[in-house]
Chain A
Amino acid sequence: MAKEVKPTRKNLMAIEDRIELSERGHDTLEKKRDGLIMEFMDILDQAQEVRENVDDQYQRAQRAINMARAMEGDVAVRGAASALKEHPEITSESKNIMGVVVPQIESSKVQKDLDERGYGVLGTSARIDEAAEAYEDLLETIILAAEVETAMKKMLEEIEKTKRRVNALEFKLLPDLYSSQEYIEQKLEEQEREEIFRMKKIKAKKEEEEDADHLTTDEEEETEEPLTADD
């Protein structure tokens, strides 16, 4: 890159400006990356907890439905499940964590009261209630997991992007700029030295010429003087 830059004072100033801007950008991005990592670690802890909850609640829900199928029969459980057509409502909003837009998922009508599950209370049992409740809990946790995992994924992408930018600045752009700056400085110094040398040369030449002129004048004067005396 350095060789592509014209070694002019104007370019040097422009590069120095870019260096200053890039260094500031580098510091800011580093801070952003560190901040994102800290936020990510918090979300990671939350995600691990939510994942464990999903596992536990899935096991609990599976067990509850197995027991309900065993004690009440598959037909009764399927029947109770089909007595409700209404689906839980899920709305998604977004929130901003250090410039990263992550979803905020709100759910409603997941947890239901005994008389909202569709099946009649009089002809069913606590086994079916237990299975329904376990699946409602599981669904709530899955929704939370979706929110946390998406936030984690987006944070991770942003961290990667910021890291790439920091690295690009640190290992590519800034070194190139420094190298261009050094190149231009060297070139300018060289040009300066050349200029000085040239000036010196010119000066010396001028002095030589002047000296030569003086000599010629003196000689001429010396040649003319005896004639005038003899005359």
Chain B
Amino acid sequence: MSAARGTANYEYVTSRVRSRRASLFDADDYRKLVRMGPGEIARFMEETEYETEMNALGSRFEGVDLIEYALNRNLAKHFDDLLNWADGALYGYLARYLRKFDAWNVKTTFRGIYSDADPSEIEDDLITAGELSETLLSRLVDAGSIEEAVDLLDGTLFADALDEAYELYEQESLLVPLENAVDRAYYADLMANLPSEPNRAEELYLQFLRAEIDFRNLRNALRISRSGADIDPAEFYIDGGRLFDATTLRQLASNPDELVARVRESVYGDELDATLDALAEADDLIAFEHALDAALLSYSDTLSNRYPLSVCPVLAYVLAKEREVDNVRAIARGREAGLDPEEIETELVIA
């Protein structure tokens, strides 16, 4: 992975991203895939750009597990390419965003160590699309205890948050504080050190991230509200969004109708209007989360169409690629579980 250097090369990266984006599966491919069994899906993937990963992992995994691991490895390869192409500020934005995979890897490692899983099994579950080096990941996986893993992360963006959360972990023996600290550190880093008067590129980057944070806050507030648990939603509030601050979120979470009304009046109102109606009627949080994913994808596309030479098309590609991976995995797992093609189709988010 290259470090940020020189000036941002938006033209070069966006043109390469356009070509990559064109090779993503389209609606026709999904229509074909949902009618295939897991074996046929695997064969189909062997004839696409997933061929290398399918062949490389074919001797270790089989069935839908093979598909899932190949999808993850391919995702990591593509995002690694993006970081290799990007320079300057663009690299910085991308790297920050892709650190979500670092967060994923840290949480996966903690969970593995916590449950005494075999290091090789933990390693299989990592998605090496972030910035943490393979050496560090490998040492993390081999760590004998959570404490050792937290110490190894010293010097990373997660260090301070984990140091604070570790005391709570010791008291409660639950991973919740550590996992929340990792996610919170990731979101804090996303928005950190951006100038108070951002330029156009930074403004677009912020606009995209704020939408993601707003949607994350919204879904978490609704989850907490629906769970009926006595949890303060502000504890899980992520700073940096446009829609809520911690106090507003605390007030609105106790009154989901007001929360929905607030979103309806917001800049996302038009995008989420139909979904909010469905949420109010059917009370289906999963469908709503699904719609939020689709809305974020669509919002990123809108931004990238409006500003084609910016960070937006690159971030939109990141989301679209993740969505492709999610869709193919959903089809394969859904078919494995015996779900109807029509049922699977309703779960897909197609850009």
Contact = CB atoms under 8 A, between A and B. Distances in A.
B87 interface: no
A226 interface: no
Contacts of B175: 83-84, 118-120
Contact of A126 (B65, B111, B112, B223): B223
A121 B108 contact: no
A212 to B, nearest CB: 115
Interface residues of B, number: 51
Interface of B (DSSP majority class)? helix
Contacts of B173: 85-86
A69 B107 CA distance: 18
A69 B339 CA distance: 13
Nearest to A82: B115
A87 interface: no
Given A73-B68, A118-B174, A122-B180, A113 B227 contact: yes
A154 to B, nearest CB: 37
A115 B231 contact: yes
Interface in A189-229: none
A75 B170 CA distance: 26
Contacts of B112: 79, 82
A99 interface: no
B341 to A, nearest CB: 13
Interface size band for A: 20 to 34
Given A79-B107, A118-B175, A121-B220, A126 B286 contact: yes
A120 B183 CA distance: 8
A79 B179 CA distance: 11
A82 B111 contact: yes
Given A115-B231, A120-B180, A122-B184, A71 B330 contact: yes
A195 to B, nearest CB: 91
B347 interface: yes
Contacts of A2: none
B174 A116 contact: yes
A125 B215 CA distance: 12
Nearest to B220: A121
A79 B68 CA distance: 14
Interface in A59-81: 66-67, 69-71, 73-75, 78-80
B183 A122 contact: yes
Interface in B264-320: 285-286, 289
A82 B329 contact: no
Nearest to B117: A82
B239 to A, nearest CB: 12
B186 to A, nearest CB: 8
A80 B107 CA distance: 10
A71 B347 contact: yes
Interface in A79-105: 79-80, 82-86
Given A82-B114, A126-B285, A114 B337 contact: no
Contact of B229 (A66, A71, A113): A113
Given A73-B68, A123-B103, A83 B347 contact: no
B328 to A, nearest CB: 11
B124 to A, nearest CB: 8
B65 A74 contact: yes
A122 B337 CA distance: 28
A16 interface: no
B309 to A, nearest CB: 32
A114 B334 contact: no
14 contacts: A66-B337, A67-B347, A69-B333, A71-B347, A73-B333, A75-B125, A82-B114, A85-B173, A118-B176, A121-B176, A122-B184, A122-B216, A126-B223, A127-B289
